[in-house]
Amino acid sequence: GDMNQRGGGNFAKAIGEICGCVNATGSDTRSFCAGPAHALVEAAALVQSGIYSNVVVVGGGCTAKLGMNSRDHIKKGMPALEDMLGAFAVHIGENDGVNPVIRTDAIGRHKIGSGASPQAVMTAIVTDPLDKIGYKITDIDRYAPELQNPEITEPAGAGNVPMANFKMISALAVKRGDIEKADLMKAVDSFGMPGFAPTQGHIPSGVPFIGHARDMILEGKIEKAMIVGKGSLFLGRLTNLFDGVSMIIEKNSGVVEVDTGFDQEQLRKMIAEAMRDFAKSFRE
């Protein structure tokens, strides 16, 4: 009852009320570990379409995840390493000609028919969107998939999750001919990063790197980063499907498109009508 009454309500709008955002509305996006990435895609679409000018995506961890990992740590005589709750907020606004942009023309998505193997998932959310805009895997400076801190996950039996993701991306690069097999780990070192995020559900899945990516792009250290949100739907219950969505964040070209309010379709109709009137005048 509580999950569907209180937990299934509208956290976003309640958060807005607490923050005093009286002119804002809000809605929740629910997709387990991939939820933040889905929400960012929706936010970018809402802003680019002109429906809203500014959208803030917010999320947080939960105490239940703390207990799950701490139990395994204590069993092995270790301290409870994960003693914090993770949270994040990302502001998506209109193009200001300075801040990095989200490439809405290259959104990766795991389709229902994409398959559940690690290779199938990564192909759908990493290489398919790159192919759409003619990029190679090596054209992306940093990949940010699941970024769990391995110091927390390895003692709990989950392994080094970020490294597994980076190796899969690098293996796909070898398969596609983007790099040589001998350079597989070199590529991992180039576009990967150590896992550093708490392991609370959706928190580590791509989004922890967004702030760092923005800073690195503005400082000229990198030009492109791919945020990859992925996970299971119900931890193997109800369905065995996986989920995933990705987006590319790029350096701003400095060009800001100005909406002149000029409707090309309306122009075509006006020209057609003028030509009909012109032809009619000749017949008369």
Which structure tokens are listed for 1? 């009852």
Please state the rounded mean pLDDT for residues 101-124. 93
1, pLDDT greater than 50: no
Residues in CB range of 35: below 8 A, 6 or more apart: 29, 59, 202, 229
For residue 230, the domain's CATH number is 3.40.47
The verdict on residue 11 lying in a domain is no
What's the pLDDT tens digit per position in 5-32? Answer: 555 678 899 999 999 999 999 999 888 8
CB atoms within 10 A of CB 12: 19
Domain assignment of residue 179, yes or no: yes
- Inside any domain, residue 23: no
118 is a domain residue: yes
Could you tell me if residue 265 is inside a domain? no
Q: How many domains does the chain have?
A: 1
Task: List Cβ neighbours of 206 (8 Å cut-off, separation of 6 or more).
Answer: 36, 37, 144, 145, 146, 147, 227, 228, 229, 230, 246
pTM of the model: 0.85
Cβ-based neighbours of 70, under 8 Å, separated by 6 or more: 80, 81, 82, 83
Sign of the alpha-carbon torsion through 260, 41, 196, 114: negative
Confirm whether 107 is domain-assigned.
Answer: yes
Residue 272 lies in a domain: no
What percent of the chain has pLDDT above 70? 90
pLDDT above 90 (res 142): yes
Enclosing domain of residue 45: 31-255
CB 62 within 8 A of CB 213: no
Both structure tokens of 144: 């940010």
